[in-house]
Amino acid sequence: MCALSSNANIAPDKTLVELADYILSTRPPSDEAMDTARWSLLDALGCGILALGNPECTKLLGPIVPGTTLANGARVPGTRFELDPVQGAFNVGTIVRWLDLNDLWLGAERGYPSDNLGAILATADWLSRNQAAGQRLTAFGSRPPIQRTPLTMRDVLAALIKAYEIQGVLALDNPFGRVGLDHVLLVRVASTAVITGMLGGTREQVINAVSHAWLDGSALRIYRQPATAGSRKSWAGGDATSRAVRLALIAMTGEAGYPSALTAKGWGFNDVCFKGSLVRLIRPLGSYVMEQILHRVYLPAEVHALTALEAAIQLGPLAKQGLDKIKRVEIHSSDAAMSSLDKSGPLATAAERERCLQYMVAIALIYGTITREHYGDKFAADPRVEALRAKIVVAEDPQYSREYLIPEKRSIANSVQIFFKDGPETDKIAIDYPFGHRRRRKESLSLLQQKAAASFIGHYGEEKSKQLMSLFANRGKLEAMNVHEFVAGLVK
């Protein structure tokens, strides 16, 4: 009682207040953000449905206790599971992230904001199904009921915009990875805030819920590092969204929060987890992140490699005319790309190959493309790959490094050039922005749609795929649809 009483007299941290005020703001997002959110949702669902073909993913899905189900529970797209919203969030978040093909955000900390769909879609479906059935939901006995009005897909898109914004703006100036913390921390924070708002939480309840999200600290980045990378990186986002839903439900009971969760001297997140640095928001919260989000619509590769691969594919026909005649391949890149992708030495796993710029460019030059299968042992054993990889030299272009950090540009530039033993050289192919970038949004849209449609066809069949793509093509119809009706169309 003493601790709670003393907490009640402490003014909430500024960042907690800013997040709560943003969640409860009724200011509409920009039209561009709403339109982009529609395509982000399509892309995330396509990634999730495609992941259902992977046994390593599907073994993690379903209820915690096998065989259990929840009446009017949260459904998992592409399956017949009906789960509580906490486990539903884990399932949806896991399939969206599993193949590492969903959209991404770059800042001082990178991230994958569509991970938040796990919490948002699972909670929205659970709420909407029970509302449609006339049920009066409560969170652990809280009063009044947390369900008031039906949720539509416009509500889901608006919630996605807020989750993207919180995660993305926090990532702009807070390099958690540099102190060994994983970026899914920001998924948990963003989803906790958004779900508490979705449940009808007050300003105080949102602050309380988000304070608990920070109190949880962060997972360690060991599962993303090249030497120790493993499959946890594929379900870490789902784990973060499930914890977010649980914290939001707990806050809705009236459970007290910890207003100085970030700044408490010696015990707050800043001192304990962030080595004394200050977690802060460096720009007002609106719809900036959704407007700027990068969709990965063309190649399954780490973002800093995308323009290099596009350039290499253009040069592929020349390379294949005489791989043995190549003297060297020069890649000019940014410091950000080199720090994460410039690798030498053995690459024992697919995860290590995904993080090696030289390996990816060698594959693109030899095969004229790159797919998920190219990271496997079969292609890695092709002697041409290692022979060409040994001839690839990566150097920094200072201009690329500078323009990557300029907010108005945020370029992700690379150039590739081939030099042959007998003297001639190819043109230097330089590309500033990859497909899926805001500056190439219009020309990328058809590729994003093809990516999703192919995933739907493989799981549902061509007729169902056409129905889903037609729905997404009609923004007004999609936004007006009740969430439980939308999710019902994804059940198989």
Residue 422 has pLDDT above 90, yes or no: no
| CATH (domain of 400) | 3.30.1330.120
pTM of the model: 0.90
What angle is formed at CA 246 by the lines to CA 276 and CA 196, rounded to 5 degrees?
80
Please check whether residues 179 and 317 belong to one and the same domain.
no
Average pLDDT of the residues in 199-204:
96
The HSE-up count of residue 45 (CA atoms within 13 Å, CB side) is: 29
Please check whether residues 256 and 390 belong to one and the same domain.
no
**E strand or H helix at 211:** helix 203-215
Residue 418 has pLDDT above 60, yes or no: yes
Q: Cα-flanking dihedrals φ and ψ of residue 27, to 5°?
A: -65, 125
Q: What is the pLDDT of residue 8?
A: 64
Q: What is the DSSP letter of 115?
A: G
Please check whether residues 16 and 165 belong to one and the same domain.
yes
* Cβ burial, residue 420 (10 Å; 0-12/13-18/19+): middle
Residue 141 has pLDDT above 90, yes or no: no
Structure confidence by residue, pLDDT tens digits, 87-126: 999 999 999 999 988 999 988 888 999 999 999 999 999 9
CA 95 to CA 393: how far, in whole Å? 36
* Domain contains 451: no
Structure confidence by residue, pLDDT tens digits, 368-404: 999 989 999 999 999 999 999 999 999 999 999 999 8
* Domain contains 16: yes
Of 6-15, 39-48, 244-253, 456-465, the one with minimum mean pLDDT is 6-15
What is each CA distance from 54 to 47, 201, 376, 490, in whole angstroms? 12, 37, 14, 18
CA 122 to CA 126: how far, in whole Å? 6
Q: What total of structural domains would you count in the chain?
A: 2
Please check whether residues 316 and 424 belong to one and the same domain.
yes
Please check whether residues 284 and 391 belong to one and the same domain.
no
Hey, how many other C-beta atoms are within 10 angstroms of the C-beta on 225? 15
Identify the band that residue 148 occupies on the pLDDT scale cut at 50, 70 and 90: low
Residues in the chain, total: 492
Residue 491 has pLDDT above 90, yes or no: yes
* Domain contains 490: no
Q: What is the pLDDT of residue 168?
A: 97
Q: What is the pLDDT of residue 1?
A: 33
Residue 208 has pLDDT above 60, yes or no: yes
Residue 142 has pLDDT above 80, yes or no: no
User: Domain range holding 309?
Assistant: 303-434
Identify the band that residue 135 occupies on the pLDDT scale cut at 50, 70 and 90: confident
Please check whether residues 99 and 179 belong to one and the same domain.
yes
Answer yes or no: are the C-beta atoms of 78 and 458 closer than 8 Å: no
Residue 423 has pLDDT above 90, yes or no: no
Please check whether residues 237 and 317 belong to one and the same domain.
no
Please check whether residues 362 and 251 belong to one and the same domain.
no
Q: What is the pLDDT of residue 149?
A: 73
Please check whether residues 96 and 122 belong to one and the same domain.
yes
* Domain contains 350: yes
CA 309 to CA 356: how far, in whole Å? 12
* Domain contains 45: yes
Structure confidence by residue, pLDDT tens digits, 241-299: 999 999 999 999 999 999 999 999 999 999 999 999 999 999 999 999 999 999 998 78
Q: Which residues in 252-283 are b (16+ Cβ under 10 Å) and which e?
A: beebebbbbbbbbeeebbbeebbeebebebee
* Domain contains 442: no
Average pLDDT of the residues in 196-218:
97
Answer yes or no: are the C-beta atoms of 156 and 124 closer than 8 Å: yes
| CATH (domain of 188) | 1.10.4100.10
Please check whether residues 317 and 398 belong to one and the same domain.
yes
Q: What is the pLDDT of residue 139?
A: 66
End position of a domain, from candidates 263, 292, 321: 292
Q: What is the pLDDT of residue 4?
A: 45
Angle between helices 184-198 and 117-132 (to 10 degrees): 20
Residue 221 has pLDDT above 70, yes or no: yes
Please check whether residues 243 and 375 belong to one and the same domain.
no
End position of a domain, from candidates 230, 260, 292: 292
* Domain contains 440: no
End position of a domain, from candidates 400, 434, 468: 434
pLDDT above 90 coverage of the chain, percent: 83
What is each CA distance from 361 to 40, 389, 393, in whole angstroms? 27, 8, 11
Identify the band that residue 417 occupies on the pLDDT scale cut at 50, 70 and 90: very high
Q: Cα-flanking dihedrals φ and ψ of residue 279, to 5°?
A: -70, 125
Average pLDDT of the residues in 479-483:
98
* Domain contains 482: no
Please check whether residues 287 and 335 belong to one and the same domain.
no
